[in-house]
Structure 1
Amino acid sequence: MPQHPPGQPGPTGGRTGTEPVLARSALGLRLVISSVAVPLFAAVTVLLSIWASNSSETDTPSGTSLTVTAAVFGVLTLIALVDLVIVIRRRSRAREAAREARRRQD
Protein backbone atom coordinates (compact mmCIF):
# COMPACT_ATOMS: atom_id res chain seq x y z
CA MET A 1 0.00 0.00 0.00
CA PRO A 2 1.55 3.34 -1.00
CA GLN A 3 2.19 5.93 1.68
CA HIS A 4 0.56 9.33 1.29
CA PRO A 5 2.37 12.49 2.38
CA PRO A 6 1.31 13.84 5.79
CA GLY A 7 -1.82 15.93 5.57
CA GLN A 8 -2.90 14.37 2.28
CA PRO A 9 -6.15 12.41 2.11
CA GLY A 10 -5.82 8.74 1.52
CA PRO A 11 -6.25 5.28 2.95
CA THR A 12 -3.66 5.94 5.66
CA GLY A 13 -6.03 8.30 7.49
CA GLY A 14 -4.21 11.56 6.85
CA ARG A 15 -5.83 14.87 7.67
CA THR A 16 -8.42 15.94 5.16
CA GLY A 17 -9.25 19.46 6.34
CA THR A 18 -7.67 22.64 7.55
CA GLU A 19 -8.72 22.20 11.17
CA PRO A 20 -6.06 22.67 13.85
CA VAL A 21 -4.35 19.52 15.05
CA LEU A 22 -5.53 20.14 18.61
CA ALA A 23 -8.98 21.62 17.87
CA ARG A 24 -10.97 22.52 20.97
CA SER A 25 -14.57 23.47 21.58
CA ALA A 26 -15.43 27.10 22.30
CA LEU A 27 -16.30 26.46 25.94
CA GLY A 28 -16.82 30.14 26.75
CA LEU A 29 -19.43 30.50 24.02
CA ARG A 30 -21.14 27.26 25.04
CA LEU A 31 -21.19 28.50 28.64
CA VAL A 32 -22.92 31.75 27.62
CA ILE A 33 -25.44 30.03 25.36
CA SER A 34 -26.31 27.37 27.95
CA SER A 35 -26.51 29.95 30.73
CA VAL A 36 -29.07 31.89 28.70
CA ALA A 37 -30.92 28.85 27.34
CA VAL A 38 -31.57 27.07 30.66
CA PRO A 39 -33.61 29.82 32.35
CA LEU A 40 -35.25 30.86 29.08
CA PHE A 41 -36.38 27.34 28.18
CA ALA A 42 -37.45 26.68 31.77
CA ALA A 43 -39.58 29.84 31.80
CA VAL A 44 -41.21 28.94 28.47
CA THR A 45 -41.91 25.43 29.80
CA VAL A 46 -43.62 26.82 32.90
CA LEU A 47 -45.61 29.40 30.95
CA LEU A 48 -46.80 26.87 28.39
CA SER A 49 -47.75 24.44 31.16
CA ILE A 50 -49.80 27.11 32.91
CA TRP A 51 -51.44 28.11 29.63
CA ALA A 52 -52.26 24.45 28.86
CA SER A 53 -53.79 23.90 32.29
CA ASN A 54 -55.99 27.01 31.95
CA SER A 55 -57.20 26.28 28.40
CA SER A 56 -60.55 24.70 27.61
CA GLU A 57 -61.40 22.14 24.95
CA THR A 58 -62.59 24.79 22.50
CA ASP A 59 -59.54 27.04 22.78
CA THR A 60 -57.01 27.41 20.02
CA PRO A 61 -54.29 26.21 20.39
CA SER A 62 -55.57 23.17 22.19
CA GLY A 63 -54.39 22.13 25.62
CA THR A 64 -52.85 19.00 24.13
CA SER A 65 -50.69 20.92 21.66
CA LEU A 66 -49.62 23.29 24.41
CA THR A 67 -48.71 20.35 26.64
CA VAL A 68 -46.66 18.74 23.87
CA THR A 69 -44.89 22.03 23.19
CA ALA A 70 -44.19 22.44 26.92
CA ALA A 71 -42.74 18.91 26.99
CA VAL A 72 -40.47 19.76 24.03
CA PHE A 73 -39.21 22.86 25.84
CA GLY A 74 -38.73 20.77 28.98
CA VAL A 75 -36.47 18.41 27.03
CA LEU A 76 -34.57 21.38 25.60
CA THR A 77 -34.14 22.69 29.15
CA LEU A 78 -32.64 19.37 30.23
CA ILE A 79 -30.29 19.26 27.23
CA ALA A 80 -29.09 22.81 27.91
CA LEU A 81 -28.65 21.99 31.60
CA VAL A 82 -26.58 18.90 30.83
CA ASP A 83 -24.43 20.92 28.42
CA LEU A 84 -23.95 23.59 31.09
CA VAL A 85 -22.76 21.00 33.59
CA ILE A 86 -20.38 19.45 31.04
CA VAL A 87 -18.90 22.85 30.13
CA ILE A 88 -18.39 23.79 33.77
CA ARG A 89 -16.65 20.48 34.48
CA ARG A 90 -14.38 20.78 31.41
CA ARG A 91 -13.39 24.34 32.28
CA SER A 92 -12.67 23.27 35.85
CA ARG A 93 -10.46 20.41 34.65
CA ALA A 94 -8.63 22.72 32.25
CA ARG A 95 -7.96 25.22 35.05
CA GLU A 96 -6.69 22.44 37.30
CA ALA A 97 -4.42 21.12 34.55
CA ALA A 98 -3.01 24.62 33.99
CA ARG A 99 -2.33 24.99 37.73
CA GLU A 100 -0.60 21.62 37.78
CA ALA A 101 1.53 22.58 34.78
CA ARG A 102 2.58 25.82 36.52
CA ARG A 103 3.50 23.88 39.67
CA ARG A 104 5.69 21.55 37.64
CA GLN A 105 7.48 24.49 36.02
CA ASP A 106 8.32 26.08 39.36
Structure 2
Amino acid sequence: MSDERSGRRTEPVPRSRSGALGSRSPRSGTEPRNAQSPLGLRLLLSGVFLPVFCVAAVLFGLWAANSGPGDSPGQDVLTGIAVGCGVLALIAAVDVLVVVRRRRRERGIRG
Protein backbone atom coordinates (compact mmCIF):
# COMPACT_ATOMS: atom_id res chain seq x y z
CA MET A 1 0.00 0.00 0.00
CA SER A 2 1.42 3.41 -0.89
CA ASP A 3 0.90 6.76 0.74
CA GLU A 4 -0.56 9.23 -1.79
CA ARG A 5 1.20 12.27 -0.30
CA SER A 6 4.74 10.96 -0.06
CA GLY A 7 4.63 8.06 -2.53
CA ARG A 8 6.21 5.76 0.06
CA ARG A 9 4.94 2.26 0.64
CA THR A 10 3.22 1.75 3.96
CA GLU A 11 2.56 -1.59 5.52
CA PRO A 12 -0.25 -2.44 7.94
CA VAL A 13 0.73 -1.77 11.53
CA PRO A 14 0.76 -4.97 13.58
CA ARG A 15 -1.29 -4.95 16.74
CA SER A 16 1.87 -5.21 18.81
CA ARG A 17 2.76 -1.68 17.66
CA SER A 18 -0.73 -0.14 17.75
CA GLY A 19 -0.31 1.52 21.16
CA ALA A 20 -0.82 5.20 21.76
CA LEU A 21 2.91 5.95 21.46
CA GLY A 22 3.62 3.38 18.75
CA SER A 23 5.41 0.91 20.98
CA ARG A 24 4.66 -1.15 24.00
CA SER A 25 6.70 -2.07 27.04
CA PRO A 26 8.81 -5.19 26.73
CA ARG A 27 7.28 -8.52 27.62
CA SER A 28 7.60 -9.53 31.24
CA GLY A 29 7.12 -13.19 30.40
CA THR A 30 3.82 -13.62 32.24
CA GLU A 31 1.45 -12.70 29.41
CA PRO A 32 0.80 -14.79 26.30
CA ARG A 33 3.04 -13.98 23.35
CA ASN A 34 0.05 -13.32 21.10
CA ALA A 35 -2.19 -11.43 23.56
CA GLN A 36 -4.34 -8.89 21.78
CA SER A 37 -6.88 -6.31 22.80
CA PRO A 38 -10.43 -7.50 22.09
CA LEU A 39 -11.20 -4.71 19.61
CA GLY A 40 -14.37 -6.38 18.34
CA LEU A 41 -15.82 -6.61 21.84
CA ARG A 42 -14.84 -3.02 22.61
CA LEU A 43 -16.54 -1.88 19.41
CA LEU A 44 -19.69 -3.85 20.24
CA LEU A 45 -19.92 -2.54 23.81
CA SER A 46 -19.20 1.05 22.84
CA GLY A 47 -21.65 0.84 19.96
CA VAL A 48 -24.39 -0.48 22.25
CA PHE A 49 -23.82 1.90 25.15
CA LEU A 50 -23.27 5.07 23.12
CA PRO A 51 -26.98 5.44 22.21
CA VAL A 52 -28.04 4.20 25.67
CA PHE A 53 -26.04 6.92 27.42
CA CYS A 54 -27.18 9.57 24.91
CA VAL A 55 -30.84 8.73 25.50
CA ALA A 56 -30.31 8.57 29.27
CA ALA A 57 -28.62 11.98 29.26
CA VAL A 58 -31.52 13.52 27.34
CA LEU A 59 -34.17 11.88 29.53
CA PHE A 60 -32.48 12.86 32.80
CA GLY A 61 -31.98 16.38 31.45
CA LEU A 62 -35.68 16.66 30.59
CA TRP A 63 -36.63 15.26 33.98
CA ALA A 64 -34.36 17.79 35.69
CA ALA A 65 -35.85 20.62 33.64
CA ASN A 66 -39.39 19.62 34.60
CA SER A 67 -38.75 18.98 38.31
CA GLY A 68 -40.01 21.43 40.90
CA PRO A 69 -38.22 22.87 43.93
CA GLY A 70 -39.65 20.29 46.38
CA ASP A 71 -39.38 17.20 44.16
CA SER A 72 -37.30 14.21 45.07
CA PRO A 73 -34.78 13.58 43.55
CA GLY A 74 -33.85 17.22 43.26
CA GLN A 75 -32.97 19.12 40.14
CA ASP A 76 -29.25 19.21 41.04
CA VAL A 77 -29.08 15.42 41.39
CA LEU A 78 -30.86 14.85 38.09
CA THR A 79 -28.63 17.37 36.34
CA GLY A 80 -25.56 15.62 37.74
CA ILE A 81 -26.81 12.26 36.48
CA ALA A 82 -27.54 13.77 33.05
CA VAL A 83 -24.03 15.23 32.88
CA GLY A 84 -22.55 11.90 33.99
CA CYS A 85 -24.44 10.06 31.24
CA GLY A 86 -23.26 12.67 28.75
CA VAL A 87 -19.64 12.14 29.80
CA LEU A 88 -20.03 8.36 29.48
CA ALA A 89 -21.56 8.84 26.02
CA LEU A 90 -18.57 10.97 25.04
CA ILE A 91 -16.16 8.30 26.30
CA ALA A 92 -18.03 5.62 24.32
CA ALA A 93 -17.91 7.78 21.17
CA VAL A 94 -14.16 8.32 21.53
CA ASP A 95 -13.66 4.59 22.09
CA VAL A 96 -15.58 3.80 18.89
CA LEU A 97 -13.30 6.18 16.97
CA VAL A 98 -10.14 4.71 18.53
CA VAL A 99 -11.17 1.11 17.81
CA VAL A 100 -12.15 1.87 14.20
CA ARG A 101 -8.85 3.68 13.66
CA ARG A 102 -6.82 0.81 15.09
CA ARG A 103 -8.69 -1.78 13.03
CA ARG A 104 -8.08 0.23 9.86
CA ARG A 105 -4.36 0.60 10.65
CA GLU A 106 -4.04 -3.12 11.27
CA ARG A 107 -5.67 -3.91 7.96
CA GLY A 108 -3.62 -1.32 6.09
CA ILE A 109 -6.57 0.88 5.14
CA ARG A 110 -6.02 4.63 5.20
CA GLY A 111 -8.46 6.65 7.22
Higher relative contact order (CA 8 A, sep 6+): 2
Aligned to 1:23: 35
Q: Deviations over 1:27-64 (max 9, x none)?
A: 00000000001000000000000000000011110011
Q: Which runs of 4+ in 1 moved over 3 A?
A: none
What is the Cα-based RMSD across aligned positions, in Å? 1.6
CA distance in 2 between counterparts of 1:15 and 1:92 reads 28
For residues 65-104 of structure 1, the aligned pairs below 5 Å read 65-96=77-108
How many residues align? The count is: 84
* Structure having the larger proportion of residues in helix: 1
CA apart distance, 1:95: 1.3
CA apart distance, 1:96: 1.2
Percentage identity across paired residues of the two chains:
45
Aligned to 2:12: none
Aligned to 2:64: 52
Unaligned stretches of 5+ residues in structure 2: 1-25
Whose Rg is larger? Answer: 1
Question: What is the TM-score normalised by the length of structure 1?
Answer: 0.73
Aligned to 2:49: 37
Unaligned stretches of 5+ residues in structure 1: 1-12, 98-106
